[in-house]
Structure formats: C-alpha cells, structure tokens
Amino acid sequence: MDFQYSDRVRKLIDQLTDFMEEVVYPNEAVYMEQLREGGDRWQVPPVMEEMKKKARQAGLWNLFLPDSDHGGGLNNLEYAPLCEVMGRSAIAPEVFNCNAPDTGNMEVLERYGTEEQKQRWLRPLLDGEIRSCFSMTEPDVASSDATNMETTITRDGDEYIINGRKWWSSGAGDPRCRIAIVMGRSNPDAPRHEQHSMILVPLDTPGVRIERMLPVFGYDHAPHGHGEIVYDQVRVPRENMIWGEGKGFAIAQGRLGPGRIHHCMRLIGAAERALELMTDRVKKRVAFGKPLSDQGVIREWIADSRIEIEQARLLTLKAAYMMDTVGNRVARKEISMIKVVAPNVAQRVIDRAIQAFGGAGVSDDVPLAAMWANTRTLRLADGPDEVHRRAVAKLELAEREKVIR
C-alpha cells in the first residue's frame, strides 16, 4: 500500500497546474465576456479554441483514455488527480479535450465502435473538431430505472428508425455538436437488460429536432447546454448501430463507470477550489472586530471541508485503482459509493464557501453559485443518490450472504 502519486503523475500535475494558472484562470472572465457579448449565446467563445491549441501543443490532451493508443497512456488512477485539477474551472475540461459527455462517447467508440465508426466520429472528437451528445434520459419516465425507457429503435431493412423524446442531452447546444449516441428499446422481447441498443445519430439527420435548451438553476450553460430532443421517424443506416442490438445496457455499464468517476474527480477539484476561495476570503473579511477566520464556526467549516474532501479524494482514488486492477464491473460498488459521496461533499463545501462570501457567493462575482448548481445536478445525473445507495446496499447484503453461511 502506497499513497504517493508516481513521478510521472506528479510531473503532469505540476504541468497542468501551471497551465491552469497561466492560461485557464485568466481566461475564465474572457470566456464569459465573449459569451455575453457574442449576441448569440450559442456560439463558442474564440478564446476556447485558442486555449485548446495551447493545451494540445503542451501535450495536455486526451489524457482521459486508458488502455488506448489515443489517450495519454494513463490509467484511471493516474488520470484522477489530473482530472481533479481540470475540475477546478468550469471551462477547463474542454480545454484539454476531457469534457463530458465527449469523453464518455469517445470511450464508447474506442471500446465498442467499428473501424468505420471510429474513423468517422472518434477521430474528429479526439481532435476536438466536433462535439457530441448522449441521449439517454427521457422526460416522461423515471430514468433512475433505465428499463423504463420508451424510445424505440426499429430495424427496417438496412436502416433503423428511431422514435422518442430525450432530454438532458448535454452539449447539444454547441454549434460544433454533430453526433448523438441514442439509447432506445430495439428488442422488446429480449430479457430485461438486453432489450436496448445504442446507435449513432448525426444531428443533421431529418427528424432530429432540438425542441429547447433546459436551464439549470437559471443557468443556460451556453454554448454547451442541455437539449430536449425529439427523434421523430429518424432513419440511420444499419452501420450506425454500436456493438450490436441489445448491447445498450452492456455499453452503458462500460460507459458510465468511467464517466461517473470523471465527474467525481472534477467535483473534488471544484470543492478544493471552493475551499481555497473560502480560506482566502475569511482571512481578509472582518466582522465584529476580527477576521472571519478567527471565528470558531468558520474554523469548523474549514476543518470539516478539508476532512470531507480528503476522504472523498481517497475514495475516488481507490475506486479508480479498482477499475484499473479488477475492472469496472467488480469495482461497481466503489463507483456507486463515490458517486454518492463526491457531489454531496462538493455541495456542502461549496455551500459553506457561499455562506462565507455573503451576497457575492450567490452572484456570479465568484464561481461558487455556478459550481453549486452544476454539482447539484450531479446528485441526479448518471443515477440519483438513492439508486447508487440502493446498489451499494444490495451488494453489501449479497456479500454478507456469502460470508455468513
């Protein structure tokens, strides 16, 4: 057992941290301003492509993809602290081509895509030329239980016809977004977890209609955004099917593990930044004759935040380690555990920081309110807390079953 990052990883952390300080943080305000002044919020601020170019030149590109020639040759455990650093800024992950949902979609294509699919979609995604979205969640059914899904994918000769309504297709607002991975029921008569498929749907296919972009606590998250998309008699060629009919849940299992833990890593980074912002603030702010940092309650907030972050980080790393060593499936208890812990910890830490900032905390003068809103959605996205707790308990009860006989 050893709690030290490897030399290579520590070097990457330093490199990334420098890049954040030199390039990313100073451009956060620039990005927001370009977005505000662009007239249309659904255009990409030019500074983003400039930052991407620099990151790629610096070799800080596609670090997320384990077991692949395309990524940085890092496993999950090695990627974790880097992803954490990226999570400190809302705009950072895209700078390094490591943002959701593209990373998850790239992972799907890398693992389960045909050569042709890779050539057509994975290549430009890896190059950061196009963006993608993931159409899984539906407005009319409880997505916590994915077997509820009502979208249909019906074979018709050499084509599939897709019909359904999806929402929270994140990234769909981006003008560079070209392709959606859509999940739907293709084989209604198969066993429960083999009825669904995932299929590639170019967004310019007739019948694809983005009905609206959904706000999150008042934020539009432009130009990325969250789309409600109607798929109305959408036809795509057979070759767009990923892996094979009925493989939807198998792919989801493979896709969501890494996706979930990436979210957790980024949340640790967000929480860490919130704690830093709070710490700096309370030293400078004076009330009732002494700095806030000298008031016992504030010290409890700092201590509890550090304690919670440190534990969440260790659990994230342990989960990543297990994904690398025993595989995503065996590691699913750890993934569910950290999927519960990370957003809840981040939410509490950010909330304390907001409180320490007073009115500024709920405004956009500091990134805390935006961080909080994003964090809150992650108690729902990729499975609500309750479903993950349920999964942990189920495994726990089953393991105990084996032991006690």
Shortest Å, Cβ 57 to its own copies? 28
HSE (CB half, 13 Å, CA atoms) of 134?
21
Which CB, 116 or 217, lies closer to its own copies? 217
Based on CB atoms, which residue is closest to its own copies, 194 or 304?
A: 304
Residue 47: which of 103, 81, 89, 104 has the closest Cα?
89
CB closer to its own copies, 24 vs 341: 341
Separation CA 175–CA 341 (nearest Å) = 34
Least Å distance between CB 38 and its own copies? 18
Minimum separation from the CB atom of position 17 to its own copies (A): 11
CA dist., res. 343 & res. 339, Å (int): 7
Least CB distance from residue 256 to its own copies, whole Å? 16
- Closest distance to its own copies from the beta carbon of 324 (Å): 10
Closest to its own copies by CB, 11 vs 400, is 400
If the CB atoms of residues 116 and 145 are measured against its own copies, the closer one turns out to be 145
Write the DSSP string, 203-219: TTSTTEEEEEE--BTTB
Nearer Cβ to its own copies, position 156 or 192? 192
Taking the complex as a whole, the smallest distance from the CB of residue 87 to its own copies amounts, in Å, to: 18
Report yes or no: 242 and 62 within 8 Å, Cβ to Cβ.
no
Residue type, 41: R
Query: ∠94-97-98 over CA atoms, to 5°?
Result: 85
> Which alpha helices (DSSP H) does 285-366 contain, by range?
296-325, 327-330, 332-357, 359-362
* Residues pairing with 177 in the sheet: 131
Token look-up 């999927």 returns 339
